[in-house]
Amino acid sequence: MIEKMDVNFNRLPERLLKVNENENNYEEMKRLLEKLVAKEEPILVVATGGSKVVAYYLEYILKRLDSNIICKVIEPRDYFYEVNRGYKKLVAISASGNTNGIKEILTLFPGDKYLISEKEKEGYETISWKKSLPEKENSFISLLTSLAPITLMLDSVVDDSIEEINDQLRELINHSKRRLEQESFADKSLFQIISGIDTKPSAGVLESNLVESGIGIPVVHDKGSFCHGRSNLLYQYPNSQVIYLTHENSELDTLLLELLTSEYQNVSTFSPMTTNPYWQEYELILQMYYLSQKIAEDKDMDLTKPNYNPKMVKTLYKYRGNL
């Protein structure tokens, strides 16, 4: 049975810390990252739905481990319709391991291939994060199923000990909650998310959560594209809530924020306290999960147990035909 939002978010910190308790979890992920950056060979990352956020964070990490790495995130469908020659390694990301197309792709891909999933799958080199968890999270949206592998990726690339990482996690979760205490989104339906290349994972979290739960309508703007006409959507819908994501303000960020805050009142800026690049985007990802929760609370809706059309959702989720 799907659990209510307050249950899932109340248990989230403990569940995340449990993921870190098993040393084998992050050692497996560390070995995977080492294999992926070896020889600087092009990498395909295949994911869909909530798993795409995990794919974007993996891409984010790989390009900072080695700036020469070519890494491309695609949907399972894209594999069958695009030319994939030249890619030597493939990472498939699926919480269940049964996402439509994933098994076929892992069978067909001729190079090195890996699966990031909740459980071990026979026939593939699987990086699993669920071995140490005593209970299953039941949520309509991807919550722990995205944050767990993302956390293991973080564990694998920062110099901090697991104890230090867990202490930082607690601090960032508490900060994410406090950051939202004075904000209200009760009357907001359209959310315009302004993001850059560094914040693609966190923007993806908010966009996916709002769409899958139905609590709001998100539009994601790239900062560069926002300068080429996309700002007109905000002019036409001035009551939109603007969510501005940034790590460290660039010249463009400074200009955009000056203009936005002088012209509109509903601008919320989210940036990390941390300075380490791996921690920075991880922190923004956490903030977007707690922002999603706050939006749902203010609108008296449930993020992890939303209302939905059971016939449509279950039929489409179980579809295993051609893509």
User: Given pLDDT bands bounded at 50, 70 and 90, which one contains residue 56?
Assistant: very high
Q: What is the pLDDT of residues 137-146, one digit of tens each?
A: 777 777 888 9
Q: What percent of the chain has pLDDT over 90?
A: 70
Spatial contact of 54 and 93, defined as CB atoms under 8 Å apart: yes
> What are the start-end ranges of the H helices in the chain?
5-21, 23-37, 51-65, 76-81, 102-108, 144-157, 162-179, 200-213, 223-225, 231-236, 251-263, 277-298, 310-317
Select 164-298's CATH number: 3.30.479.10, 3.40.50.10490, 3.90.1150.10, 3.30.1310.10: 3.40.50.10490
User: What mean pLDDT, rounded, does the chain reach?
Assistant: 91
Query: Which of 52-56, 98-102, 110-114 shows the lowest per-residue confidence on average (mean pLDDT)?
Result: 98-102
Look up residue 248 and give its amino acid. Answer: E
User: Given pLDDT bands bounded at 50, 70 and 90, which one contains residue 305?
Assistant: confident
Is 23-131's fold the same as 164-298's?
yes
Look up residue 284 and give its amino acid. Answer: L
Angstrom distance (rounded) from CA 307 to CA 317: 16
Spatial contact of 54 and 149, defined as CB atoms under 8 Å apart: yes
pLDDT number for residue 142: 78
pLDDT number for residue 132: 56
Could you please report the per-residue DSSP string of 223-270? Answer: HHHIIIIIHHHHHH-TTSEEEEE-SS--HHHHHHHHHHHHH-S-EEEE
Q: What is the pLDDT of residues 150-206, one digit of tens each?
A: 999 999 999 999 999 999 999 999 999 999 998 999 999 999 999 999 999 999 999
pLDDT number for residue 284: 98
- Comparing CA positions, the residue from 50, 10, 15 lying closest to residue 140 is 50
Q: Burial code of 25-59, b = ≥16 C-beta within 10 A, e = fewer?
A: bbebbbebbeebbeeebbbbbbbbbbbbbbbbbbb
Query: Which of 3-7, 11-15, 256-260 shows the lowest per-residue confidence on average (mean pLDDT)?
Result: 3-7
User: Given pLDDT bands bounded at 50, 70 and 90, which one contains residue 55?
Assistant: very high
The pLDDT of 49-65, averaged and rounded, is 95
Query: Which of 54-63, 216-225, 298-307 shows the lowest per-residue confidence on average (mean pLDDT)?
Result: 298-307
Q: Is 80 exceeded by the pLDDT of residue 122?
A: no
pLDDT number for residue 76: 94
The pLDDT of 258-282, averaged and rounded, is 96
pLDDT number for residue 139: 79
Q: Is 70 exceeded by the pLDDT of residue 234?
A: yes
Q: How many other C-beta atoms can be found within 10 angstroms of the C-beta atom of residue 111?
A: 14
Q: Is 60 exceeded by the pLDDT of residue 131?
A: no
Coil/strand/helix, residue 117: strand
Coil/strand/helix, residue 107: helix
pLDDT number for residue 129: 77
Q: What is the CA radius of gyration of the chain?
A: 19
CATH annotation of 23-131: 3.40.50.10490
Local structure of residue 197 (DSSP, 8 states) = G
Q: What percent of the chain has pLDDT over 70?
A: 97
Question: Domain locations in the chain?
Answer: 23-131, 164-298
φ, ψ (nearest 5 deg) of residue 35: -65, -40
